[in-house]
């Protein structure tokens, strides 16, 4: 699941792989591996989930996460079951992470 886009265009995702949930970052659209999303993922995983981070320290995912995926999106307009009272849909990755986990 995409949490948001970082300032350099990289994307912070949360997913279950390997056998648990992990926060990861994609490369930038131009291919920079040590992206802002990867740095954010590393900081949050090492700070909030240090034991899991020690076991699985790699917070970078490959370019395929930007090109080979299935997309599902929710209607959060208020006209359907879900809504977005915090405005998360319009937040950057940095803002979403702070909203979910604090800083």
- Distance, in Å, from the CA atom of 44 to the CA atom of 16, rounded to the nearest integer, reads 16
| Domains of the chain by residue range | 2-101
pLDDT band at 48 (very low <50, low <70, confident <90, very high): very high
Buried b (16+ CB within 10 A) or exposed e, 72-89: eeeeeeeeeeeeeeeeee
pLDDT band at 16 (very low <50, low <70, confident <90, very high): confident
pLDDT band at 12 (very low <50, low <70, confident <90, very high): very high
As given in the structure block, the two tokens for residue 48 are 């909030």
pLDDT band at 74 (very low <50, low <70, confident <90, very high): confident
- In this prediction, residues 75-85 reach a mean pLDDT of 84
- Distance, in Å, from the CA atom of 24 to the CA atom of 3, rounded to the nearest integer, reads 10
**pTM: predicted TM-score of the whole model, two decimal places:** 0.85
- Distance, in Å, from the CA atom of 4 to the CA atom of 96, rounded to the nearest integer, reads 7
């Amino acid at each position: 699941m995409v949490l948001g886009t970082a300032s350099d265009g990289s994307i912070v995702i949360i997913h279950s792989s390997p056998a648990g949930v992990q926060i990861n970052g994609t490369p930038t659209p131009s291919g920079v591996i040590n992206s802002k999303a990867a740095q954010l993922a590393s900081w949050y995983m090492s700070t909030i989930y240090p034991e899991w981070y020690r076991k699985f320290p790699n917070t970078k995912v490959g370019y395929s996460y930007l090109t080979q995926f299935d997309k599902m999106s929710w209607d959060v307009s208020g006209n359907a079951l879900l809504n977005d009272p915090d405005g998360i849909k319009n937040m950057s990755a940095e803002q979403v992470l702070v909203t979910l986990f604090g800083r």
